[in-house]
Structure 1
Amino acid sequence: MTAAATAAEERGTDISELLGLHTRGAQLILAVYVVSNVMFVTATANRLDHVWPAYLAVALVTVGGFVVTRPHPDPFPRVLTFAVLGIVVASSALVLYALPDSGALGRATWYLGANTWLLWFLILRRRILLAWAGGIAMLVETIVWAQYAGRGALDGLVLASPQVLLLAIATLFGGALRRATWRINALARRSVDAAAAAGAVAAAREVQDQRADELAEVVVPVLTVLATGEPLDDATRAEIMRVEAQLRDSVRGHGLALPPIVAAATRARSRGVNVTLLDDLGVPLSPGETDAVVRAVEDALDAAADGTVTARLLPPGREELLTVVSLGATDVSRVALPRGAAA
C-alpha cells in the first residue's frame, strides 16, 4: 500500500469524495456552468455600457470553477480559498461596472448566480466562514453600486439578497453531508475493527489447532500404550518420561521449545541430566535473538554430563535476555546472554 493510500485510509471519506469531483459527471457539470455563464454574457452584451469587463469577469469565474472543483482532501486549501474569494469580489466589480444605470437588467446580473455557485463549493468543502465573507462582500458591492447608479440601496439589496438564502441552504446541506461522512467513516472504522478482531480470533484459533496437533502427535502414542493396560518395560517408561519432560518444556518454557533445543534437551536427559526450560519473557524472539539463544542453550546442554541445567528467558526490562545455569557434580557454571549481544 502506498503512503498516499495509507493517508487516505486514515483520513476516511470526506465531502469532496462524496461529491465525486474526480468523475466525468463533475466535469460535465463544470462544463455546463462555464457554457451557461458565457451564454448569459453573450446574450446580454447589448444591454451593457461596457462589454469587455463582462467577458473578463466570465473568464475569472471560469478559472474559479476549475479551482473549486479541483480534487483535494477537505478542508479546501486556504490559499486557493482566498484566490476564489478574490475572483468573486473582482468579477462582481467588473460586471457591476459594465451594467447600465437604468433599465431592466435581466440575465445581465449572471455574476450573482455564478459567484454563489463558487461559494457553494467553498461551503461544502469546509470553508464556511470565508465563503460567507465572500457572499457578504458581493452583497455589499451590489448595494453600493445600486446606490451610486441611482437605483437605490434597497434595489441592490433585493437584487442580491436571494443569494444569501442560497448560501444558507448550502450551509445546511453541507452540515448534512458532513454528518453523513462521519457516519460513513464510523461504520468503516467499525468494519475494520470487526475484521481485525475476527482475524485475531482466527489466528488464535489456528495457533490453538496447531498446538493441539503437536500435542496429539507427541502424546497420543504414549496414551495408546497406556490404554492397553499391558506391563511397561524400561524403554516405554523412558519414552513416557521423555514425553512428560517435552510437555513440561512446551508449557513452562514455550519460547525455548525450539527444535534444536528440544533435541539437545533430549540428548542431555538421555545422559541423566535434569533439564528445566523456563520462559518468563512472554514475547516472541527476533531472528537474531533466536539464533543466539539456540547456540547458548544447545552448547550448555551438550556440555553437561550430569547434574542440572536450567535455561531461562528473563522478563522484559532486564539487561540480560537469557541465563543458563549448569550444576554438575564437581562444578557450577552460569552463562548470561545480554540483550545487546543478541541483536
Structure 2
Amino acid sequence: MISLPRHLLVGLAAAFSAFHVVLGVYTIRMPESAVPAVVAMALYAAATVLSLAPWPTLRLPIGVAAGNIGVTAVGLILVLSQLDAAEENGYATWIIGAVGTLMTITAVRQRPWFAWAGIGVMIVAVLVWTGDPLELPALGAIGGPVWVGVAHATTLTIVRASRDARLLELAEQRAAEWQAQEEAEFFERRLRLGQMDSEVAPMLRRIVTADGELTADERRECLHLEAAMRDEIRGRRLLDDRVRNAVRDARRRGVEVTLLDDGGIDDLDRTAHSRVTGVIAREIGGTTADRVVVRTAHDDDEVAVTIVGLRDADPALTAEGLEEEPELDLWLEVPRQGDAV
C-alpha cells in the first residue's frame, strides 16, 4: 500500500489554496474596488489555515466547518459584487475556484455535508450573479462539486477500509487470545495429570493392592491428597513448595486449611510473589487455629492476601447447649508491596 506523508498532503493543499490568492492579487485592479477582494483573500486564507491546522483528530471541528460556509458566502458576495457578469472577468472570479478548494479540504477532513452545503451556496451565488446556468462551466463552478464528490467518495472508502482493518485486528486478537487460552488449558491439564501421577497414583495403587481395605491413617492421607488437589485448582498462585509443605503439615495436625485465589495477585512479580507466599507458609506453619482461610484481595487493593484463623468453640460447652461463636485467632493482611510482614 502506497502512503504519503501528512505534511506533503498538507503542503499540496496549501499550495493550491495559495494559488487562488495569487490569482486574486494578479487581478486586483479589475474589480471596481480592491478592498472587498483583499478582505475576501484574508478571510479565505484564515479559513484555509484553520482547516489545515493539526487538530487532535482528522475530523474538522464543527465550528471551523461551519465557519468555512460563512467564509464562502461572504467571500462570494465581496468579490462578485465588484464584478460585471456581462464582461469577461478572467481570473478575477478566483473566489469560485477558491471555494471549491476550501470545500474539498473540508470534505477530506471528514465534514462532507458542510462541504456540499458550501458548494450549494457557491452555485446559488453564481446563478444569482450571472442569471445563466450555462455560464457555470465557463466560470469554473463545476470543478468544485467534482472535487468535493471525489474527496467524499475517497474519504468514505478510507473510513470503511480503516474500520475493516480495525475489525480484522480485533478478530486476530481474539483468535490469539483463544489460542493462548487453549494452550493454557492444555498445559494446565498436563500439569494436573502430572501431579496426580506423582502424588495420587501411589495411593491409588495402594488402594488397589489392599482391595480397598485401608487403615485409618491411610484414609486420612487420602483426604489430605484430595484436599491438596483441590488446592491446586482453587489456590493457584497462592501455592509454592513452601506453602504446599506447610499446608500438608497443618492438615496432618488437624487444621482445616482453605486456599482461594481469585486472581488478585496475578500481576505480582517473582520477588513480590515469593515474599507473599513466604508469609503464607510461615503463618500456616505456626498457626494454633482450628481453621485457616487464605484469600487474595482485589487486584487494585494495597493488600495482596488476607489470612484468617479461627478457633472453634469448646466442645464441652457445645455439648451442654451453650453455643459460642468461633474465636478469631489470626487476622493478617499481607501488603502487595514492601518488606515481609
In the TM superposition, 1:244-255 aligns within 5 A as: 245=224, 248-252=227-231, 254-255=234-235
Measured in 2, the distance between the counterparts of 1:33 and 1:54 equals 18
After superposition, where does 1:171-210 map in structure 2 within 5 Å?
171-201=152-182
Q: Give the Cα–Cα distance (whole angstroms) in 2 for the partners of residues 249 and 95 of structure 1.
A: 89
Match of 2:284 in 1: 298
Q: Bigger CA drift: 244-253 or 131-140? A: 244-253
Partner of 1:167: 148
Question: Cα–Cα, structure 1 residues 34 and 164, in superposed 2: closer, same or farther, change >3 Å?
Answer: closer
Q: Which runs of 5+ in 2 are unaligned?
A: 207-216, 269-275, 298-305, 319-324, 336-341
Measure, in 1, the Cα distance between the counterparts of 2:287 and 2:81.
99
Q: Map of 1:246-325 to 2, 5 A cutoff?
A: 248-252=227-231, 254-255=234-235, 257=239, 262-269=244-251, 273-279=253-259, 283-285=262-264, 294=280, 298=284, 302-303=287-288, 309-311=290-292, 324=310
Partner SS, residue 302 of structure 1 = coil
On the 8 A contact 1:323/1:334 being kept in 2, the answer is: no
Shift of 1:87: 1.8
Residues 1:40 and 1:46: Cα distance change in structure 2 (over 3 Å): same
1:105 pairs with one of 83, 89, 106: 89
Residue 301 (structure 2) aligns with? none
Of 93, 112, 117, the residue aligned with 1:128 is: 112
1:231 matched residue in structure 2:
none
Higher share of residues assigned helix:
1
- Measured after TM superposition, the shift of residue 201 of structure 1 is 4.8
Aligned mate of 2:100, from 116, 128, 132: 116
Percent of aligned pairs sharing the same letter = 19
| Offset, 1:328 | 8.0
Determine the structure 2 residue equivalent to 1:7. Answer: none
State TM-score, norm by structure 1: 0.64
Secondary structure of 1:283's partner? coil
Q: Quote the offset at 1:98 in angstroms.
A: 3.4
User: Residue by residue, what CA displacement relative to the aligned partner does 1:42-83 show, whole Å, maximum 9, x if unpaired?
Assistant: 443454333343333233222222222223325421111122
**What SS does the aligned partner of 1:277 have?**
strand
Letter in 2 for 1:245: H
Code of the residue aligned with 1:298 in structure 2: it is I
Deviation (angstroms), 1:268: 3.6
Measure the CA separation in 2 of the matches of 1:101 and 1:269. 103
Cα root mean square deviation, aligned = 4.9
**Count of aligned pairs between the two proteins:** 298
Q: TM-score, normalised by structure 2?
A: 0.64
Letter in 1 for 2:257: L
Residue deviations 1:112-166 (CA, integer Å, cap 9, x gap) = 22211221222233323322222211222222222xxxxx343555546513344
Shift of 1:29: 0.5
C-alpha displacement of 1:189: 2.3
DSSP-derived class of the 2:326 partner: strand
Segment drifting more, 109-118 vs 238-247: 238-247
Report the equivalent of 2:61: 77
